[in-house]
Structure 1
Amino acid sequence: MTPAARVSAAIAILADLEVRRRPVNDALREWGQTHRFAGSRDRAAVATLVYDALRRRASAASLLGGDSPRAVVLGMLRLGRGLEADDIARLFSGERFAPEALTADERGRLEAPPPDMSAPAAGDFPDWLEEPLTRAFGDDLIAEMQALADRAPIDIRVNTLKTSREALAEALAHLSPQTTPLAPDGLRFHVDADGRGPALQAEPEFIQGLFEVQDEGSQLASRLTLAAPGEQVIDLCAGAGGKTLALAAQMDNRGQIYATDIDAQRLAAIHARLERSGARNVQLRVPRGRYDPVRRPEVADPLADLAASADLVLVDAPCTGTGTWRRNPDAKWRLRPGALKERMNDQAVVLDRAAGLVKPGGRIAYVTCSLLPAENDDAITAFLERHDEFSILSAEDVCRQAGLPDLAPCATAAGGLLLTPHRTETDGFYVAVLSNGTTGAAG
């Protein structure tokens, strides 16, 4: 495919998303299936154009004075990729497979300086989130949101149960890995101009279980739980097991991790990952159906025998996922206020469940991949009001005990930590560690 044909394909896919309102991955998959002539490089380039357009949708629409798929792609090429009007005109030539030629108005807007934009347009986020995001970031709002609109690198976590970071970096030297700035067991790979990264899961080292693909922010969140060898740990929202595996390595296969989730289907991927990793201290507690203590009390609690027994309960809470917009830019435009309210209710339920599982002197590590105070500081403040036996550990103490650099710029008003692409070059993650009674965190 020519570059212009790729642009035409991206516009068509964005138009499909407008009409059918479905996840972008579904639209891209269908396009690939119906355009078999497109090779892997073409598919990657088209996907990157679509993702980049979604990342810059609001600012691009502001520049072009309209939010049609064509306008959004034009604006993205100017603002996101820095192409000049002449470069864009060569792509929009009206020739075979190319989009229609630029109109005089389009060319004028591409040549003019960018207009003054509202914060949601300049930061490329939905209007209705301006108040909560301003509350989170204040004067840094636009800088934080623009960083969240950039492409993300690919990070992996070295499985220290099987190898070291130095040894794995040497084995993957042909892919030019870099060490992650903050996470002690991470390596980073950058994507090329077409959005293609190395095929890491085809590497023998991945098949052998020497690493897992995991954003540095998620790696840091796992370390900030302060999980230590010999502890009894419950991973209450284990899902596919990314943090479960990180905790197993952090605990050096000593102690016990009970991994569960409210939905048995979410645990489907964890079995093969556990086998590949060599983790031996993980016990799965799979509910028979969907466990919901509020809506479905008839489903048996798979953790009923573990009340008040855990040194640590990890609550990797269900959330809006606003911190993952670098990787899932379509999600920001599909998010609705009703989803936020639902997630806040879920978070309260799972935190209260965690409180009953922690022994005196134990702790809860509350983690979200959200930037919204309602899901972070507010959730913790409300929990502490309901459970006065708990207190929050200071961000400084948590970083020190975790053996991490001081993350003081990431400290929140309530005492948690908020990692962001702008602050830490990671996805967005919130972490708060709560102690039940005496401060018994491991060092």
Structure 2
Amino acid sequence: MRAQFFLTMALTLFPPLVLAQDWLGFRGSSNDGISSDTGFPTTWSEEKNLLWKTALPGPGSSSPVIFSNKIFVTCFTGVDGMAENLDSLKRHLICLDAGSGKILWNTAVSAALPDDPYRGFITQHGYASCTPVTDGERVYVFFGKSGVCAFDYQGKKLWQQSVGSSSGNRKWGSASSPILYKNLVIVNASEESRAVIALDKATGKEFWRAEASRLELSYSTPRIVQKSDGKAELVLIVPGEIWGLDPDSGKLRWFSTIPFSGNISPTLVQYKDLVIGMGGFPQSGTAAVRIGGKGDVTKDSIAWSGSESSYVPSPVVKGDYLYWVNDRGLAICCEAATGKVVYKERLGIGGGTGASRGVYASVVLAGDRMVATTRSEGVFVLQPGPPFKVLAHNRLADDSDFNASPALSKGRIFLRSNKALYCIGEK
């Protein structure tokens, strides 16, 4: 069933030349954090299974994406400490050879100013937090107030389109990643214009726009999910609600109220006819909502809700279970159908307080191995179970933050820190 679903969605989202081993966007080619590939190592260090390491020109929290033998990742430069002057701020799209780690090209985009000042929470993630997405022909990036850009595979910028220049009341910057659907690039421009916006992939011209004040404080990446009748829906979690939109027009089909609000970062996951969302602050939660319907479906749509949640990291679904490692370093498993907690295990890392939380990256899953990246205390490889088991705790000699979620491709794990990109594989 999963293989059939993946094939259907892949043909909807990406051209036929895309392979299952590619990792094309945030949380993979189907945006669910799961790879169908095999052969990934369990243990690594500076001396073991580290195929290559490449220094990056600047920091960033975006994840790498992979097509064939090319890796694409973003970073930013031109910000010195807590400087208020952003005149030198640039975002970069970098292309690397997946086999050697060699940088093939580095294209810089000057910032559209003014931008949010480099202070407060934005110092925790920076100006390159949105993961690129590629269709095997072009790479699409979201640079916040500097807009959405498309590049060819030689690094030439094909178009650049503004999606707004405003700021949220907290001035935390942008975090949501672009996704692809048919001939569209879709972005949650909550910070820039309180809108979800679809652009034509070929030209950057706006195709549709869905505006709503409730989008403020939604940093979640939207997803395309497929109902049992085969119809595609664009789903997004916002403070206090989960939405289902028509991805072809941006029209709201249905919405459900959920019992938590505040800033929302995790991306929705799908389990059968449910989408499961989490987040919220200061009171967080998790809710499972049935896909479909018309208008306000709150009364009949909520399958379950619970208090176990996550601040930034997104979960994964495997079989009948929902797994995640939250920002405090707790590995949690729930029954996806009911929300019943199966286990909650501490990984033994510092949870942090305020903005300095211990985990920002989302877990990724391949077979019976789950990779959980902490910001500064290494990478755990877990047997998700149940039962739960820590298989390895791997560390690299890098004193910068690892905010990005890992990418998986052809038996290799790609880890990104504020200083470097790492390729982990059996050798």
Normalising by structure 2, report the TM-score. 0.26
Structure with higher RCO (Cα < 8 A, 6+ apart): 2
Q: More helix by proportion, 1 or 2?
A: 1
Normalising by structure 1, report the TM-score. 0.25
Q: More strand by proportion, 1 or 2?
A: 2
State the structure with more CA Rg. Answer: 1
